Amino acid sequence: MRAIFYPFEEQKVDDLVQVTGDSVHHLTVARVRENEKILLLNGKGQRLLGIIQAFSKKSIDIKITEAEECTPLHELSLAIAMPKKEAFEDILKMAVELGVTEIYPLTSDYSQYEYAPSERVQRILESALVQSNNPFLPKIHSEQILYDFLSMHTGTIAFFNSKISEKPTDNEITAKKTILIGPEGGFSAEEIAAIVKYPKTQEIHLPTPILRAPTAVSAAIGFLLSSSVSAKTH
């Protein structure tokens, strides 16, 4: 079934939603027809299933047949010391596809790119939302310095350290957790010391070679989600 992102407000069954803008172009290129079913996602947790009633070059009318309010599958956030632009864009896609709820761009000693909101970023997020049928877009915070993030953050930080941790680990997701990933060059010794000193740091080491930032993000999220599932089944 075709899916589109459209920033609709709350809708209910039998409502008529008129889609305009870029979504019309996408559906026209896809050669949709009247009576075809469409999935609409607003990025705020509502999924609508509808049937195309009529369409023109400027608008498409969709009658809603099902409306569902969704809840997030987990509460994992991501703090990422900015890698190169291409790597960060890959991370944005993965974050949406894996259900990340919030993203914290960070400036660190070896960060390589400065985040700024843009139409390109929004298109990347929307495309990943449609591809994965995720009902939620992540909230992206303003970029901040790593040390400021550590001073203001209050939740558990899952720090995927390239070195083996001497601390005991607890991998189950029992509350909100923020995964902390470094840039391609990693964190400096001073930054690692500050991260480890943070009172709610959960250090995790994976037995792998050094990973690119996008690979580290997907591996970290997969590790925590699989650990949580394993813990709930035992």
Q: Which strands sit side by side in the sheet containing 2-5, from one edge to the other?
A: 2-5, 37-41, 46-55, 59-69, 16-20
Three-class DSSP category at 133: coil
The amino acid that residue 229 corresponds to is V
Question: Residue 21: what pLDDT?
Answer: 81
Whether 209 and 186 have beta carbons less than 8 Å apart is answered as no
How far apart are the C-alpha atoms of 81 and 93, rounded to whole Å?
A: 16
Other Cβ atoms closer than 10 A to 20: 10
H helical segments located in the chain:
22-29, 85-97, 119-132, 146-152, 189-197, 213-232
2-69 CATH = 2.40.240.20
Taking domain 76-232, whether its CATH number is 3.40.1280.10 is answered by: yes
Identify any residues that bridge with 68 across adjacent strands, giving them in sequence order: 47
- Please enumerate in sequence order all residues whose Cβ is within 8 A of that of 225, keeping only pairs 6 or more positions apart, or say none: 74, 76, 98, 173
User: pLDDT tens, 56-97?
Assistant: 878 888 999 999 999 998 999 999 999 999 999 999 999 999
Other Cβ atoms closer than 10 A to 188: 14
Q: Which helix (H) or strand (E) holds 79?
A: strand 76-81
User: pLDDT tens, 150-160?
Assistant: 999 999 999 98
User: pLDDT tens, 100-138?
Assistant: 999 999 999 999 999 999 999 999 999 999 999 999 999
164 falls in which pLDDT band (50, 70, 90)? low
Q: Domain map of the chain by residue range?
A: 2-69, 76-232
